Copies of this chain bind each other. A is one copy, B any other.
Amino acid sequence: MIKVKVYVTLKEGVLDPQGKAIEQALQAKNFQGVRDMRVGKYMEFYLNEDEATDHQIQEMCEQLLANPVIEDYRYETEEVISV
């Protein structure tokens, strides 16, 4: 099995009100130094070896996991021994 980890982040320049809210909440809790908080998504899942091609994973990201208009994505794969 292949473990796939996908990170989806907002593109630079896209406003991130959720990140801003978290930043302000941290500042209000006395973590004043927090700057430029950006929030994204992290997804992990498993694929069979034969399906875990770069093409396949990119298709998944572009069709469903990320919105390519406003989001960037990157992914990592890692072989795991299935028990």
Q: Which residues of A contact B (CB under 8 A)?
A: 1, 7-9, 19, 22-23, 25-26, 29, 31, 33-48, 51, 56, 59-60, 63-65
Contacts and interface: CB of A to CB of B under 8 A. Distances in A.
Given A25-B64, A31-B60, A33-B47, 19 more contacts: A9-B42, A19-B43, A22-B65, A23-B45, A29-B63, A31-B59, A33-B51, A34-B60, A36-B45, A37-B43, A37-B44, A37-B45, A38-B43, A38-B44, A39-B42, A40-B42, A40-B43, A40-B44, A41-B42
Contacts of A35: 1, 45-47
Contacts of A38: 43-45
A48 B33 CA distance: 6
